[in-house]
Amino acid sequence: MTVLEAGEKHQELLDELLSDIEAYNPEVDRELLARAFRFAADAHEGQQRRSGEAFIRHPWGAAMILAELRQDEQTIAAALLHDVVEDTETEIDEVRTEFGDEIAQLVEGVTKLTRIHFQSREQAEAENYRKMIAAMVGDERVILIKLADRLHNMRTIEYLGKQKQLQKARETLEVYAPLAHRLGIHKLKWELEDLAFETLHPRKYEEIKTMVAERRTDREEHVSEASRTLQLELDKVDIPAEISGRAKHFYSIYDKMAKKGREFNEIYDLTAMRVIVERSGDEGTRDCYGALGLIHSLWKPMPGRFKDYIAMPKFNAYRSLHTTVIGPEGRPLEIQVRTRDMHEIAELGVAAHWLYTRGKRDPQWTAWAKQLMESQADEADPRESAGRSDADRFRLCRAHGSRPPHSRGQDQRPDRAAALPAEERRRRRDPDYEDGARPLARLAVAGRLVTRPQQDPPVVLARDA
């Protein structure tokens, strides 16, 4: 079968991909993506996934995820080709000859990253991050492709053997989801966490899913009532904004129950209200604070529940105002306020950064990645490094030129996480470290199985994850 015939066999997949990309990039290089798709389809011809589907559906699935993140055609072409060197007889020089140095380097970077052995245990956590970041420094798009690759594999994880499922799910929860968080790509982080949670704790996942569904109507009515009230007040002072509800994902509910020892009915912020102001730049920032003032004039804010991530962004460039108020009917209501630009970065993180720069290497991003690596390079104990990494506030270039995140100086509280001994941090972090934890919290640890890789039956012709 020729390359053209292999591609035409799956033409509907290519058409769907191109349609999604053209929705945000009308000038996309269709010819490049068609060549990459057909090249991959030909290379993987005859290979199947454990689901029985043609293998080309996996790189296509990863490419579709990157299209959702609105990535450029070089990144998406590399995603289509990301397994051809690893799983077929194709050499990287063939990719370079056909598609040029840029795409070949991305494919080679993903291939090298795939060959890294990640150990899913706490002692190796910091080393995992170092290896991932080291691969990313060459070109940050490599890690975006790898995250898309892992997400698509998690979506089809039920076709793996049970032990392999547990291994991949734990690795996803310990390595890939935290990395997506560090890069600010919450759109991927949330789904990675929920898929891993469903695999590791299926009964608890279904229990929480059912409880959330049972109360959804009541919560949505509560948020709708508050939205109508706030919208009227915003219109009066000419602050154009879109108000919507935001449901928490299941793993975040479970994590809060486990870490804080709470029952389901004690978690009130299952649905939050999100206010996205329409204006951008300085005007948008002023509108955010104006909207916040209105919110606090309508409903009493709860003490200790206000966070200003606009003045002091998170390490991954996340910017938003968070507050929790006593809303309608005297019930707590969590509210987030941000501009559309801030919202895009909150959802896409570094993926939004790459979208804006459109192929131009940003030295500030590379410097940030190197700083992250170097800060962990000399750690004797990986657990010490992992504990400190979230305490540091590394600077990440933001798309619209806002000032860098605030960084605390020498006057930080002495009881901050980075200053505590490893044993004390573990006690605070792990609700099951001491006796007396609630049953649900103990379940969180019960699921931390030590899994050993095992050989699955040879039912496929190519690697699945």
Asked if the model's pLDDT at residue 288 lies above 60, the reply is yes
The whole-number average pLDDT for the span 39-55 is 93
The strand pairing partners of 459, in sequence order, are none
Amino acid (one-letter) located at 423: E
Identify each DSSP E strand in 197-355 by its residue range. 241-247, 271-277, 300-301, 307-308, 321-326, 332-339
d(CA 359, CA 382): 34
> How many other C-beta atoms can be found within 10 angstroms of the C-beta atom of residue 378?
7
Confidence of residue 73 (pLDDT cuts 50, 70, 90): very high
Q: What pLDDT score does 399 carry? A: 35
d(CA 103, CA 121): 33
Asked if the model's pLDDT at residue 234 lies above 50, the reply is yes
Using DSSP's 3-state secondary structure scheme, residue 124 falls into: helix
Average pLDDT over all residues of the chain: 77
Two tokens, residue 183: 């890069």
Confidence of residue 375 (pLDDT cuts 50, 70, 90): low
Q: What pLDDT score does 365 carry? A: 60
Cβ atoms of 323 and 305 within 8 Å: the answer is: yes
Q: What pLDDT score does 6 carry? A: 56
Two tokens, residue 242: 């879109």
The whole-number average pLDDT for the span 198-208 is 92
More confident residue, 34 or 463: 34
Using DSSP's 3-state secondary structure scheme, residue 194 falls into: helix
Render pLDDT for 83-96 as a digit per residue (tens, 0 to 9): 999 999 999 999 99
Catalytic status, residue 87: yes
Two tokens, residue 60: 């296509």
Q: Where in the chain is the domain with CATH 3.30.460.10?
A: 212-347
Two tokens, residue 176: 């890939």
Q: What is the DSSP letter of 299?
A: S
Q: What pLDDT score does 341 carry? A: 92
Two tokens, residue 30: 């269709």
Q: Where in the chain is the domain with CATH 1.10.3210.10?
A: 3-205
**Cα–Cα nearest to 145, from 191, 186, 180:** 180
CA quadruple 50, 55, 61, 66: dihedral sign: positive
Render pLDDT for 319-332 as a digit per residue (tens, 0 to 9): 999 999 998 888 88
Supply angle C-alpha 369, 372, 374, rounded to 5: 110
Q: What pLDDT score does 178 carry? A: 86
- Is 2.40.50.1020 the CATH number for 3-205? no
d(CA 84, CA 87): 5
Where does residue 290 rank: exposed (0-12), middle (13-18), buried (19+ CB within 10 A)?
middle
Residue in this structure with the two tokens 């206010």, named with its chain if needed: 275
Asked if the model's pLDDT at residue 317 lies above 90, the reply is no
Task: Please name the residues in contact with 435: beta carbons below 8 A apart, sequence gap of 6 or more.
Answer: none
Confidence of residue 246 (pLDDT cuts 50, 70, 90): confident
Asked if the model's pLDDT at residue 389 lies above 60, the reply is no
Where does residue 388 rank: exposed (0-12), middle (13-18), buried (19+ CB within 10 A)?
middle
The whole-number average pLDDT for the span 303-331 is 90
What is the rounded end-to-end Cα distance, in angstroms, of the chain? 26
With a pLDDT cut of 90, the percent of the chain lying above it is 46
Task: Please name the residues in contact with 420: beta carbons below 8 A apart, sequence gap of 6 or more.
Answer: 387, 428
Residue in this structure with the two tokens 């507050």, named with its chain if needed: 323
Q: What pLDDT score does 299 carry? A: 95
d(CA 228, CA 233): 9
d(CA 320, CA 341): 10
Q: How many CA atoms lie within 13 A of 97 on its CB side?
A: 6
Q: What percent of the chain is helix, strand and coil (3-state, nearest 5)? A: 60, 5, 35
Confidence of residue 352 (pLDDT cuts 50, 70, 90): confident
Please identify which of the residues 42, 87, 108, 149 carries the catalytic annotation: 87
The whole-number average pLDDT for the span 251-275 is 77
More confident residue, 132 or 435: 132
Q: What pLDDT score does 5 carry? A: 60
Looking at 302-316, 327-341, 381-395, 448-462, which range is the least confident one? 448-462
Alpha helix (H) ranges present in 261-302? 281-298
Where does residue 405 rank: exposed (0-12), middle (13-18), buried (19+ CB within 10 A)?
buried
Q: Tell me, rounded to whole angstroms, the distance of Cα 147 from its chain centroid.
A: 8
Q: What pLDDT score does 396 carry? A: 37
Confidence of residue 221 (pLDDT cuts 50, 70, 90): confident
Q: Which helix (H) or strand (E) holds 369?
A: helix 363-377
Looking at 64-68, 135-139, 176-180, 434-438, which range is the least confident one? 434-438
Q: The pTM is what?
A: 0.73
More confident residue, 319 or 260: 319
**Cα–Cα nearest to 199, from 222, 171, 175:** 171
**Cα–Cα nearest to 428, from 448, 14, 420:** 420
CATH architecture of the domain formed by 212-347: 2-Layer Sandwich (3.30)
Cβ atoms of 20 and 64 within 8 Å: the answer is: yes
Asked if the model's pLDDT at residue 164 lies above 90, the reply is yes
d(CA 208, CA 198): 10
The whole-number average pLDDT for the span 383-405 is 38
Please identify which of the residues 29, 45, 68, 86 carries the catalytic annotation: 86
Two tokens, residue 313: 């962004």
Catalytic status, residue 94: no
